[in-house]
Structure 1
């Protein structure tokens, strides 16, 4: 099995703890800590609906015997203030799966994680208007929940955000009927390689785009999760179909390349610390912009897949690295870990800076390329973000 795949499988579920010896909050206290996602910085309140999308034209690539490909989507959008009800972070069974997978269930109560306070309301009334759409894909084995911080920030800035869970690729995703699907891809990808994961996800994201923009190219069905009765046309009215971007963490970020190569609707893409398993075509991506944002190690020049990607990108592009960052810097995990007193001397970037850098640079990227609003932040280093190095521009 390739070394990169092994690394992903061994580390991708490091939720809120990196080693037991780094657990500085006593386990007894962890039960009393109230976790809270930082407030987003944009002017909009945030609504969220949960969608169960089924593509009857495509069998699940990991479990063909299960039938059609299923996806769970958290759809965040600019909302009217004072509408909706507080949105949960994740369910307790999901938190149990995440923690148990890495052996931290005895250190951190699942209820502490599931009770994390978000800044979002469910089933809120949307703000009138059409907004750019950004699709987010999480890291391998990780649920879409781990990108909540980024999702909330973008929605608060006036984006519709679709955070997608890909069936059988996470250890903790609930599907209708209370089904917690296992990570079948964790084993099967050892045979197929990670390119199969990225390319399958690319098809997933095109399908989600069809659904949300009412394109219906696949004549698929849209089913709501429990207590939700969304109308696909409602979301089509919220979305500007000419301003769609894509981003993700780890394999989710790597997915941006095959997705953009196959689907011209994706106008801009960003990879957060992912290796590029499916290369950019030699002809490029049609001059569309791309952001490469990763930890300083191993994503400095000399990284084979990042070097090749940089050479083939033929539009606006940036290669940025973050000092003292780790693989999970670009997710919710370090932000929540810091609140539990969990640190890692190998990656000492503080949790609040992890969240700030991810939100700030991704928002600037999409503001520039989906809204054509100038972003001096992306022109070069700034004294307010000394951790960020511009490796190439």
Structure 2
């Protein structure tokens, strides 16, 4: 069993790993390779402040973070890491939020890295002029939870996206009575921040291991999805630990009062966007603890060995699933035909367990917080109309945000209860 010693004062490890690098080194390498002067990135505190839409439910929302360590697995993206580390945020109905300040969407360090690297992941995002650290959620740090058993939902973000960009939907679900756990997949996510260093990881920040679209490499894509599924199943284990009165946090961070009594391990749902949607659907097939799932525009087949060549189906598509599965896409997804092949197969299975929806005048990231952010960036003159359309579509957030929130919530209420 590997020992994990968290050093929360961030002063560095007892034994630095070969892959341990500073945030400035990561930013410098990527920006230099792109031909961008580091100085043009600007400080994280400069620029436009983006706003998340407020939750619509009757409950105030609490927020806490977990550092999770799976000692049964090595990290698949870094051979120097002998365990699988994860970070998660839990949103939940709060009993009271008095004296508990709102939590930021991204921490200052995460925001600084995303501000510099995000435009390379999402072309059209501005390289400067946005204070990514200034966006606040409507969820309150470590507020006491309502001690009533609630359905639990796990969220897996799209490939490369930090879990923070699913905060808007997660906090809205929590305001309507769900406990929502959003999960980062380190090495996959563009940037993940840990609570401290360890003897094998010399930086609190870890950036993505990907240097190309994982779907362009069948082996990488297979490892990516398999790792994500194992991550979610481990998080489900930790929900069971919590429900039994234990503390899942590997660093022993105190739990908000009442949280252990707020989770119902018998009512579990999973949802995800893009690669996270693939993960959610296949997790529902693999793990019977997941009672319902939503795939927000994620492929259900592997890429082919050659460009344009069809690849093998995931088992959830090939064999179907006997639990409710919603496939939800947009009419602006560039590879609708490629995605449709596997979606048609899973929809054709008998039993009526799988249904589909489509969000019109929308593009791929309309299922994330970029649905609200892209129009704000366009209005501020920091994003072109074409870039906004490529990212989220022409749909206005007054339509897209309520549509996604209501659709996801009603699906899980119908199949898991409230």
TM-score of the superposed pair, with normalisation by structure 2? 0.74
Contact 1:198 1:255 in 2 (8 A): yes
Alpha-carbon offset, residue 195 of structure 1: 3.0
Once the two structures are superposed, residues 264-306 of structure 1 have per-residue CA deviations (whole angstroms, 9 ceiling, x without a partner) of 0000000111111334164422x20011111114447982121
User: Given the alignment, which residue of 219, 231, 235 partners 1:208?
Assistant: 235
The aligned counterpart of 1:146 is 165
Summarize the alignment of residues 164-183 of structure 1 with structure 2, pairs less than 5 Å apart: 164-177=183-196, 179-183=204-208
The aligned counterpart of 1:350 is 396
In structure 2, relative to structure 1, the CA distance for the partners of 1:297 and 1:109 (3 Å cut) is closer
CA separation in 2, counterparts of 1:235 and 1:200? 27
Contact 1:88 1:115 in 2 (8 A): yes
Once the two structures are superposed, residues 192-238 of structure 1 have per-residue CA deviations (whole angstroms, 9 ceiling, x without a partner) of 24232222211111111111221899x9963248xx4238x964421
How well do the aligned residues superpose, as a CA RMSD in angstroms?
2.9
The aligned counterpart of 1:273 is 297
CA separation in 1, counterparts of 2:148 and 2:241? 16
The aligned counterpart of 1:339 is 376
Question: Structure 2: which 5+ residue stretches go unaligned?
Answer: 1-41, 197-202, 302-313
Q: Describe the SS at the equivalent of 1:87.
A: strand
Greater Cα offset, 338-347 or 116-125: 338-347
The aligned counterpart of 1:261 is 285
CA separation in 2, counterparts of 1:79 and 1:220? 18
Contact 2:147 2:259 in 1 (8 A): no
Contact 1:243 1:370 in 2 (8 A): yes
Summarize the alignment of residues 47-66 of structure 1 with structure 2, pairs less than 5 Å apart: 47-66=62-81
Once the two structures are superposed, residues 281-339 of structure 1 have per-residue CA deviations (whole angstroms, 9 ceiling, x without a partner) of 64422x20011111114447982121122224744332111111111000001201222
Alpha-carbon offset, residue 60 of structure 1: 1.1
In structure 2, relative to structure 1, the CA distance for the partners of 1:37 and 1:155 (3 Å cut) is same
Q: Describe the SS at the equivalent of 1:57.
A: coil
Alpha-carbon offset, residue 45 of structure 1: 0.5
Q: Describe the SS at the equivalent of 1:244.
A: strand
CA separation in 2, counterparts of 1:201 and 1:313? 28
CA separation in 1, counterparts of 2:389 and 2:248? 48
TM-score of the superposed pair, with normalisation by structure 1? 0.78
The aligned counterpart of 1:382 is none
Contact 1:260 1:269 in 2 (8 A): yes
Contact 2:110 2:192 in 1 (8 A): yes
Question: Structure 1: which 5+ residue stretches go unaligned?
Answer: 1-26, 374-393
User: Given the alignment, which residue of 311, 316, 330 partners 2:367?
Assistant: 330
CA separation in 2, counterparts of 1:117 and 1:262? 36
In structure 2, relative to structure 1, the CA distance for the partners of 1:61 and 1:220 (3 Å cut) is farther
The aligned counterpart of 1:387 is none
Q: Is residue 2:131 matched to residue 1:118?
A: no
Larger Rg: 2
CA separation in 2, counterparts of 1:106 and 1:282? 41
